[in-house]
C-alpha cells in the first residue's frame, strides 16, 4: 500500500525546489516587531465577537506573542482549500467530527500530549476525540474546548402557564405533543428545508436507540445500519405529525423565528440555536430537556459532543507560543466568557456558571451521561442529512435503510479497507 503513496509534500517539494520556496514561506513567521505571530482559524463563525474580544485581551497582555483569530464563513472549506496550497494556520479550531478524523488521518495535526493544559480537560471529551480516529493513533491531536448539547428546547414560560410536565419517556413525549396540539398550539416547528437540521433529532434519537459505536462496528463488518437505525428513522418520521404543514418549505431561520414568537412549544435542536432564537425574542425564557427516545427514563443519554477544539498543525513552527494561546483560551475567565455567549458546555474542569438554557440537561452533564453525535462519524459527501430528508418526504423506511448501508460502503471504501487492514495486522 504505502509503496505507491505519493505525499503532496514530496510532490510539491519538487516544484518548490524550482525556486518558489521564498514566495511560499508564508504562515507562522515572526513579524517585524519581533513578536511571534500565531494565526488561529476557527469554524465558530457565530462566536466571532467573543473571539475578537479574547484576541485583543491576549495581545494586550502578551509582549512576545501576537495572535490573530479569524472565524471565516464555511471555515472547513476555507481550511481545505488552504491545505491544498500547503498553507497552514498555526492553530485550527474545529469540531470533533469527521473533518477532524480526516485531518488526523492525513497527518496535518500535531500531537499535543506534551501540552500541560491537557490535564485540565475532562477525560470523557478526550475519549470522544480518541474514538473519532479512523484507526487508533498514538497521541492526542486536539484540546477539547467546549461541547454542545442537543435535545429539545422548550418555551419554559409557555410550559409553566399550561402546567405541562417534562417528558422522560417516548410515550410521555408523544402524549405531551397531543396535549399541546389539543391546546391549539403547534408542538414542534421544524426547519427541514435546511437539510442539516434533520440531523438534530436524528442524533438525539440515535444515541439512545443504537449502539454508540455502530459506525465502527459497520466499518469492521460486524453489523449493518438496517439493524440499528430502523427505530431511529421511524421515530423521527413520527415527529412530522406534530409539526407544521410542509416542514420542508421552511428553513432553520424560519423555525427559530417561529419558536421565538411562541408559534410552537418545542424545537428539536441543539443549544447552539439559542442565540439565533434570542435575536428575534431577546427575553425569551428557554430551557431544554434530553430527547426521551426510550421507554425507560434511566436509559436516556444526553447528546453532547466536542463542538470546538483547538488543534496545532504539524507545520506550526512555534509550538510553545501556540500552547500559550491555547492555555489562554481555556483558562477560567476566557472560558466563562465563551460559555456564557455561546450557551456551550466547557470541556475543562472548573467551577463554571452554565447558561440557564441548559438547566434541564444539567444533571446529565454533571454525571457525564453523554454520548457523541453519531453524525460526527458520517462522511459529509455521503449527505446523510439529505438522505434523511428524502426519507421523511417519501416515508419509505426500507428503501432508506438499504440505501444507507449501500452508500456507506461506497463512500467509506478507503476507510473500511484501512480499518480492516489494521485489525488484520493487529491480530
Partner 1 sequence: MGNNRQRTYYLMLIPILVLFFCFNTLPLLRGFFYSFTNFRGFGGYDMVGLRNYIDLFQDARVGNSYLFTFKLALVSTLAVNVISLAMALALNSKIKFKSALRGMYFIPNILGSLVVGYIFNYFFTYIVPFLTNTTSILADAKWAWVAIVVVCAWQSIAMNTIIYISGLQTVPEDVYEAGSLDGATGWNQFRYLTFPLIMPFFTINMVLCMKNFMMVFDQIMALTSGGPAQSTESISFLIYSNGMAGGQFGFQSANAVVFFILIVTISVLQTRFLNSREEQL
Question: Nearer Cβ to partner 1, position 329 or 388?
Answer: 388
For the CB of residue 80, give the shortest distance to partner 1 in the complex, in Å: 5
Contact criterion met (CB below 8 Å) for 355 and 368: no
Separation of alpha carbons 252 and 242, rounded Å: 17
2 DSSP β-pair partners: none
- Our finding on whether 105 is near partner 1 (CB under 8 A) is yes
Pairing of strands 91-94, 36-42: parallel
For the CB of residue 14, give the shortest distance to partner 1 in the complex, in Å: 14
* Burial of 33: CB neighbours in 10 Å, binned 0-12, 13-18, 19+: exposed
- Residues 111-130 close enough to bind partner 1 by CB under 8 A: none
Q: Where do the DSSP E strands lie in 260-390? A: 264-267, 286-289, 302-312, 345-346, 370-371
Question: Nearer Cβ to partner 1, position 170 or 400?
Answer: 400
Contact criterion met (CB below 8 Å) for 404 and 387: yes
- Our finding on whether 106 is near partner 1 (CB under 8 A) is yes
- Our finding on whether 108 is near partner 1 (CB under 8 A) is yes
Instruction: Give the x/- contact pattern for partner 1 in 289-318, rule: CB under 8 A.
Output: ------------------------------
- Residues 230-289 close enough to bind partner 1 by CB under 8 A: 245-246, 248-250, 254
Question: Nearer Cβ to partner 1, position 191 or 346?
Answer: 191
Which of 72, 275, 355, 379 binds partner 1 (CB under 8 A)? It is: 379
- Our finding on whether 24 is near partner 1 (CB under 8 A) is no
- Our finding on whether 4 is near partner 1 (CB under 8 A) is yes
CB atoms within 10 A of CB 342: 21
- Our finding on whether 145 is near partner 1 (CB under 8 A) is no
- Our finding on whether 102 is near partner 1 (CB under 8 A) is yes
- Our finding on whether 414 is near partner 1 (CB under 8 A) is yes
Contact criterion met (CB below 8 Å) for 290 and 361: yes
User: How far, CA to CA in Å, does 176 sit from each of 104, 163, 353?
Assistant: 44, 11, 31
Question: Nearer Cβ to partner 1, position 164 or 248?
Answer: 248
Separation of alpha carbons 245 and 394, rounded Å: 15
* Burial of 414: CB neighbours in 10 Å, binned 0-12, 13-18, 19+: exposed
- Our finding on whether 380 is near partner 1 (CB under 8 A) is yes
Main-chain phi, psi angles of 113, to 5 degrees: -65, -15
For the CB of residue 149, give the shortest distance to partner 1 in the complex, in Å: 25
Give the position of cell 431544554: 288
Q: From 135, 132, 158, select the one nearest 376 (Cα to Cα).
A: 132
Question: Is 95 in a helix, a strand, or coil?
Answer: coil
Question: Nearer Cβ to partner 1, position 68 or 81?
Answer: 81
- Our finding on whether 8 is near partner 1 (CB under 8 A) is yes
Question: Is 38 in a helix, a strand, or coil?
Answer: strand
Separation of alpha carbons 403 and 313, rounded Å: 36
Which of 51, 100, 103, 259 binds partner 1 (CB under 8 A)? It is: 103
Q: Which stretch binds partner 1 (CB under 8 A): 51-59, 192-200, 202-210, 270-278?
A: 192-200
Instruction: Give the x/- contact pattern for partner 1 in 61-100, rule: CB under 8 A.
Output: -------------x-xx--xx-xx----------------
Which of 42, 155, 174, 389 binds partner 1 (CB under 8 A)? It is: 389
Separation of alpha carbons 420 and 397, rounded Å: 29
Q: Which stretch binds partner 1 (CB under 8 A): 21-29, 103-111, 278-286, 358-366?
A: 103-111
The conformation of residue 71, written as its DSSP 8-state character, comes to -
Interface contacts to partner 1, rule CB under 8 A: 1, 4-8, 74, 76-77, 80-81, 83-84, 102-103, 105-108, 193-195, 245-246, 248-250, 254, 379-383, 386-387, 389-390, 393-394, 410, 414
Amino acid at each position: 500500500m504505502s509503496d505507491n503513496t505519493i505525499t503532496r509534500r514530496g510532490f510539491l517539494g519538487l516544484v518548490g525546489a524550482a525556486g518558489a520556496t521564498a514566495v511560499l514561506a508564508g504562515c507562522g513567521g515572526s513579524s517585524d516587531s519581533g513578536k511571534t505571530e500565531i494565526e488561529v482559524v476557527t469554524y465558530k463563525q457565530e462566536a466571532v465577537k467573543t473571539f475578537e474580544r479574547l484576541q485583543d485581551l491576549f495581545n494586550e497582555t502578551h509582549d512576545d506573542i501576537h495572535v490573530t483569530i479569524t472565524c471565516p464563513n464555511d471555515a472547513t472549506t476555507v481550511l481545505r482549500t488552504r491545505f491544498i496550497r500547503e498553507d497552514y494556520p498555526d492553530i485550527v479550531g474545529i469540531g470533533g467530527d469527521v473533518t477532524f478524523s480526516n485531518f488526523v488521518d492525513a497527518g496535518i495535526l500535531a500531537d499535543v500530549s506534551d501540552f500541560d493544559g491537557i490535564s485540565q480537560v475532562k477525560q470523557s471529551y478526550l475519549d470522544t476525540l480518541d474514538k473519532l480516529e479512523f484507526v487508533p493513533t498514538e497521541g492526542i491531536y486536539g484540546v477539547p474546548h467546549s461541547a454542545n448539547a442537543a435535545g429539545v428546547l422548550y418555551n419554559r414560560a409557555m410550559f409553566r402557564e399550561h402546567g405541562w410536565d417534562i417528558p422522560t419517556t417516548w410515550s410521555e413525549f408523544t402524549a405531551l405533543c397531543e396535549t399541546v396540539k389539543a391546546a391549539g398550539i403547534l408542538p414542534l416547528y421544524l426547519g427541514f428545508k435546511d437539510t442539516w437540521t434533520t440531523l438534530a433529532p436524528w442524533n438525539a434519537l440515535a444515541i439512545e436507540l443504537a449502539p454508540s459505536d455502530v459506525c465502527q462496528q459497520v466499518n469492521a463488518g460486524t453489523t449493518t445500519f438496517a439493524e440499528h437505525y430502523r427505530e431511529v428513522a421511524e421515530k423521527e418520521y413520527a415527529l412530522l405529525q406534530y409539526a407544521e404543514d410542509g416542514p420542508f418549505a421552511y428553513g432553520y431561520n424560519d423555525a427559530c423565528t417561529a419558536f421565538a414568537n411562541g408559534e410552537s412549544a418545542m424545537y428539536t435542536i441543539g443549544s447552539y440555536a439559542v442565540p439565533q432564537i434570542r435575536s428575534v425574542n431577546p427575553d425569551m425564557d428557554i430551557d431544554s430537556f434530553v430527547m426521551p427516545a426510550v421507554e425507560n427514563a434511566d436509559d436516556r443519554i444526553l447528546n453532547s459532543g466536542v463542538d470546538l477544539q483547538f488543534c496545532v498543525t504539524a507545520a506550526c513552527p512555534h509550538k510553545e507560543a501556540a500552547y500559550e494561546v491555547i492555555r489562554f483560551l481555556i483558562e477560567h475567565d476566557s472560558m466563562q466568557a465563551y460559555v456564557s455567549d455561546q450557551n456551550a458546555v466547557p470541556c475543562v474542569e472548573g467551577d463554571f456558571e452554565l447558561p440557564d438554557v441548559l438547566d434541564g440537561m444539567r444533571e446529565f452533564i454533571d454525571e457525564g451521561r453523554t454520548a457523541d453525535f453519531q453524525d460526527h462519524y458520517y462522511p459529509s459527501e455521503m449527505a446523510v442529512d439529505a438522505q434523511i430528508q428524502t426519507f421523511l418526504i417519501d416515508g419509505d423506511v426500507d428503501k432508506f435503510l438499504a440505501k444507507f448501508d449501500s452508500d456507506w460502503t461506497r463512500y467509506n471504501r478507503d476507510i473500511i479497507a484501512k480499518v480492516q487492514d489494521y485489525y488484520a495486522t493487529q491480530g
